[in-house]
Structure 1
Amino acid sequence: MNTANSVDSFTCPEFLAMERTIIDDFVDCTREACEEAEACVKELDNDGGAAYVHRLFRAMHSLKGNCQMVGLTPFVELLHRVEEIVARVRAEQDPYFRELGEFLLLAIDEVEDLLNHLIAHGSTSDVRRKKLYELCDTLQKSSSRGFQPQQFKDAIALLDGKVSSKETVSKAPRVMLELQDDMLMMRKFAQQIDNLSIYRKNRSEQAAQLTASLNEALGNPVDARQLQAASLMHDVGMSFIPHSIFNKEGGLSREELKIVQEHVVTGAQMLLRFGGWDEAARIVLDHHERYDGYGYPNGLTGKNIHPGARMLAIVDTFCSITNERSDRSYKRSLLSAISEINANIESQFDPQMVEMFNDVVRKLIAKQ
């Protein structure tokens, strides 16, 4: 455990130094394990059988394993103590009862809250972590004759006096009608389109980072915020494409292809509606144009294509190649991606920009 400035908090530098994509992946996996554990507790409260106890144990074990993989040692120690409670029920040493499940839900909530605070602020409460650890430890030591409901009631009361499951105590937040910052809203839209397919995980954010790096390498010919907005919003129009087409495996018909191509117009129009993002809208509109004039929607050639769109075309192709797709259940390497892009200079991509993108990817490979 690594202590922060305050003796009441701790941090985990090894974890926080990891790439954002790894941290995001960890958060997603952790959320899935927590949701699985909560679903199992709900079923067990409704007289679910032993299968849900086994699933609950696996969910807790996954939580612990995820933390171990990314160097969150303090959480590994804590989750091991929580897991031991489930292990006793799984081994039929003790019966399951509602109070035990309620305590587990509160423990999971506490772990999630501590993790979120660590990610958001760089440190989190060691007092709360130790409190939960000691409660689990006490339950183990004081239960030599078997777990008793009253012991868990007492533990729940000590855990900040919460006495009901999170479904009954959580109060729905009041919904406020207010305008968010444009860029925050664009990130939400980008996350939404990325969540529509398992093959698009963090794709928009990855595109935004790479276009920013390419723009910088070229001497910033495009306004950085306009380019960031375009990178986040370039595929948002795809969310209006029918799912039967969006998720279709194999080739598209001519009519289906026309429907897909409309996404650039939809995305550009959305940016114009925001106001103040005219350049970003033009980038989105042009990002499927080809250097040789065989792109869409306007068949523009060479320097007639917005420079931001020429950058985004390279990056979008790179992201597509290096991520899994419905027709290809594996990721191709960075080198194979850059080789394919280089093979299409002058026909599809701006040669000068591809040359600079090679440098960006070289630095990315060196970093990895």
Structure 2
Amino acid sequence: MTTAQFSSPDAEMVADFFNDFEEAYQASEHLLLKLEKEPSNDALLNDLFRRVHTIKGNLIYVGLVDICPLLQSVEDVLEPLRKGQLRYDDLLSDVILLAMDTTHELVENRLQQQASNLGEAQMQSICEKISRIANCEPSQRTAIISQAIKALDAEAELAAPDSEFSKHGVVLNNDLRFFAQLLPAIDQRSPYWAGRTQRIAELALNMNSAAGAPIDANQLLAAVYMHDFAMAFLPLELLHKPEKYTAAERLRVQAHVKTSATLMQEMGNWAQAANIILQHHEQCNGAGYPNKLTESEICDGAKILAIADAFDACVNSRAHVDQPQRPLIRAILEINRYAGSQFSQDWVNIFNQIARPKRTQSH
């Protein structure tokens, strides 16, 4: 893709365009999430189609014609949805979310006169993969959607598992080395846990650093390393159960926070980490466990860990059903959806700085 600028350089016109574009973009995101709960809602589908079509028209008006094929491919999918020829679900929602997010990024790059790393051939390939969804055989649908998601979401994970933590103020000691040595065994307990602890640690430490490091980095890292230690001792048939837990099973799973926290407390020198572990499933609205604490009663380390843990679970939620991982944009929106209720709004704001540093944060 070239870095050609707008056909008309009028600053007021460009500002008006971007304000309209930003409004339509955010509205589209919210419509997609609503559609997951009401997939047969024709009014929502028609509204989404109008938003996408309007954005495409505005792109043409200001000279960004080369971005339009991406939105045209989205329209190719929305049209059979509106006619009832295609079933809407969250997999399809992921594709459209990613396409809209990619459009947003391309527009921002152009406004800032930055080169895009999405070439013309790659753009064409992505559009073809999205458009194929509209006419594919039902038996091929998941595989074709997976190809589209991978093409759109080719970025690396938010954090590399082997990142060094010293930049966050972590000073390794014998206890931390011991916890780190336990991780491979814990992560191997379930094939769906591989690498998750390191990913969560990197995000949690990044959030802490972005906020000025209010939590001791060693305590936070220890809490991340050991927060699910007791979970590894539960039966695999319980850990991998696809159906909802019974009341008794739910209590059994929830007990892991007290067990893990107690082990950390017994070691000495890890009281803060133990408290983070004990509270990381509490919710700001008081609906969490084990003690139904509210936001003012929950420590900051637990607020960070709650977000990092939920984010990783959302991105990797499909591992156990052999479907594509959730794209980052989806997981980011999910975290923001529960800001102020399940998660601390202040810490979600910090999370947004890490997860979407170049995006408008109001969702």
Larger radius of gyration: 1
Query: TM-score w.r.t. structure 2 length?
Result: 0.49
Greater RCO (CA < 8 Å, at least 6 residues apart): 2
Query: TM-score w.r.t. structure 1 length?
Result: 0.49
